[in-house]
């Protein structure tokens, strides 16, 4: 019969004790109600489309994308969100992305938040001749709540984008010395014009007051 040293046998520890020691239960309670931080890039074709963030497992049925929401509470999904940065293409000087820093807090118990984005292709050329092909966009927002009598809306945040048929070209250029002097002359001329108007107003006002004083009508 083999000899077993009782000192070498690992003790049997209950899973509850392990969770308690590791603080797992406390971590779950502390993270209750927290959301997700999503970061990444998408490559899409130059056609209208959409991307979205929604709960459940996605799959296709009859060529239609649907989500399995059986494991998710109907009234427990909060789509409040904050967009730190959203851009269509590379950054270039002067670009303003209207959704950077945008946030929305959910008041209704359930619904779908939609962003309708119009993407405008843009070509930017800097002073050295380097070209950046990117995009700008404008956006409108809409919240579709799941009201009684209306079809149930899949909860989530949806981004619908469409490409504009026009293109914007932005180019940096040095101003010529003649253009600079023209601007200086325009500024100096404007200063003299405004000074003349003020001087004329003060002169005629003083003259009118002096005339009334001579006639004894000024009190």
The pairs formed by 81-87 with CB atoms below 8 angstroms and a separation of 24 or more are 81/35, 81/53, 81/113, 81/157, 86/159, 87/135
- Check whether 66 has a pLDDT greater than 90: no
Q: Does residue 30 sit in helix, strand or coil? A: helix
Q: Is residue 55 domain-shared with residue 145, that is, in the same domain?
A: yes
pLDDT digits (tens, 9 = 90+) for 96-115: 999 999 998 888 767 789 99
Q: Helices H, strands E: what count in the chain?
A: 3, 9
Q: Is residue 118 domain-shared with residue 152, that is, in the same domain?
A: yes
Please tell me the pTM assigned to this model. 0.62
Range of the domain at 211: 175-219
Residue 21 within any structural domain of the chain? no
- Check whether 151 has a pLDDT greater than 70: no
- Check whether 50 has a pLDDT greater than 70: yes
Which pair of structure tokens corresponds to residue 170?
């932005």
Contact 42, 51 (CB under 8 A): yes
Q: Is residue 64 domain-shared with residue 96, that is, in the same domain?
A: yes
Which pair of structure tokens corresponds to residue 28?
């779950």
Confidence of residue 44 (pLDDT cuts 50, 70, 90): confident
- pLDDT for the residue numbered 211: 78
Closest by Cα among 192, 218, 194 to 206: 218
Contact 104, 81 (CB under 8 A): yes
Q: Is residue 190 domain-shared with residue 122, that is, in the same domain?
A: no
Q: Work out the mean pLDDT of the chain and round it to a whole number.
A: 78
The pairs formed by 174-180 with CB atoms below 8 angstroms and a separation of 24 or more are 174/127
Number of domains the chain contains: 2
Residue 18 within any structural domain of the chain? no
Confidence of residue 156 (pLDDT cuts 50, 70, 90): confident
- pLDDT for the residue numbered 169: 92
Confidence of residue 65 (pLDDT cuts 50, 70, 90): low
Residue 180 gets which letter from DSSP? H
Q: How far apart are the first and last CA of the chain?
A: 130
Measured distance CA(201)–CA(195) in Å, rounded:
10
- Check whether 6 has a pLDDT greater than 90: no
- Check whether 144 has a pLDDT greater than 50: yes
Contact 195, 203 (CB under 8 A): no
């Amino acid at each position: 019969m083999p000899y077993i040293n009782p000192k070498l046998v690992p003790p049997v520890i209950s899973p509850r004790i392990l969770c308690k020691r590791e603080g797992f239960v406390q971590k779950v309670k502390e993270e209750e109600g927290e959301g997700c931080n999503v970061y990444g890039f998408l490559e899409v074709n130059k056609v209208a489309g959409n991307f979205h963030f929604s709960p459940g497992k996605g799959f296709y049925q009859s060529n239609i994308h649907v989500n399995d929401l059986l494991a998710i509470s109907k009234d427990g999904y909060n789509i409040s969100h904050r967009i730190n940065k959203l851009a269509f293409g590379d950054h270039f000087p002067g670009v303003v992305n209207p959704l950077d820093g945008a946030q929305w807090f959910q008041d209704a118990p359930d619904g779908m938040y939609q962003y309708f984005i119009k993407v405008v292709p843009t070509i930017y050329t800097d002073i050295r001749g380097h070209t950046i092909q990117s995009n700008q966009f404008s956006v409108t927002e809409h919240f579709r709540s799941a009201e009684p009598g209306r079809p149930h809306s899949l909860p989530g945040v949806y981004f619908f984008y469409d490409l504009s048929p026009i293109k914007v070209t932005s180019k940096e250029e040095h101003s010529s010395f003649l253009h600079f002097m023209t601007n200086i002359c325009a500024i100096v001329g404007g200063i003299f014009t405004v000074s003349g108007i003020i001087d004329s107003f003060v002169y005629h006002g003083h003259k009118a007051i002096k005339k009334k004083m001579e006639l004894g009508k000024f009190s």
